[in-house]
Amino acid sequence: QETRHFHEDTGLTTSGRSKEQAEDYRYFPEPDLVPIAPSKELIAKISASLPEKPSVRRKKLQEAWQVPDKEMAAMINADVLDLVEATVKLGADPTRARSWWLGEIARIANERAVAAADLAISAADVAEVITLIVKGELTDKLARQVVEALINGEGSVAKIIETRGIKVVSDDSSLMAAIERAIAAAPDVAEKVRGGNIPASGALIGAVMKESKGQADAAKVRDLLLKHLGQG
């Protein structure tokens, strides 16, 4: 005879303490309970109706998303695993979903000393933001503005974008005009890029992004800039 501890996380039990005889526990039959002998069919039916063990579910998600143990633990500790899963089910890329819930959203939740689930932002909101990023309609910087506005209760994603006038600048003429101004302001840096120093282009790209208040498509700015300076 022994006392066993049940671990909710794994659904398993481990030995706690043991006694030599059942009498040591002072067990006695309950007179109001009759003995029962459940059939194998009943046991199978009940087993099938039980929810999936948390440990089994986490293992499945970890394998499906190809997540390292450390990041899986981070999602569990931040209590965002359910939110990430819900976001992915809505079509979002798992990596992007994890990044948003563990990054910007978790940061704001920590600052406000609340759980991420208590913030005014849903899995559907995050999935929509990610979709707009993938389509090139939002940059990461603009997306952060949208996420913060969602959390502040400023309305839906569409309403926030419309109200704040958030729009990615991607037309060549507008970007080239900004690139020319950046080059004119830093001709020495432009010469370095022309000479093959590609990393130096970061300063010029940064200047364009600053002028556009983060609304320019950074990848397109880089492509146009390097081509303009003979490195594309």
- pLDDT tens, position by position, 161-188: 999 988 888 788 888 999 999 999 999 9
* pLDDT bracket for residue 113 (50, 70, 90): very high
* Domains in the chain: ranges and CATH: 54-164 (no CATH), 172-228 (1.10.10)
| DSSP assignment string, 157-187 | HHHHHHHHT---B--HHHHHHHHHHHHHH-H
Q: How far apart are CA 2 and CA 14, in angstroms?
A: 10
Query: Cα(110)–Cα(115) distance, rounded to whole angstroms?
Result: 8
pTM: 0.71
DSSP-derived letter for residue 217 is -
Q: Are 152 and 120 in contact (CB under 8 A)?
A: yes
Distance of alpha carbon 10 from alpha carbon 28, whole angstroms: 31
Beta carbons of 208 and 175 less than 8 angstroms apart: yes
pLDDT in tens, 32-79: 888 889 999 999 999 999 988 888 899 999 999 999 999 999 999 999
Are 222 and 201 in contact by the 8 Å Cβ rule? The answer is: yes
- Examine the pLDDT at 231 and tell me if it is beyond 90: no
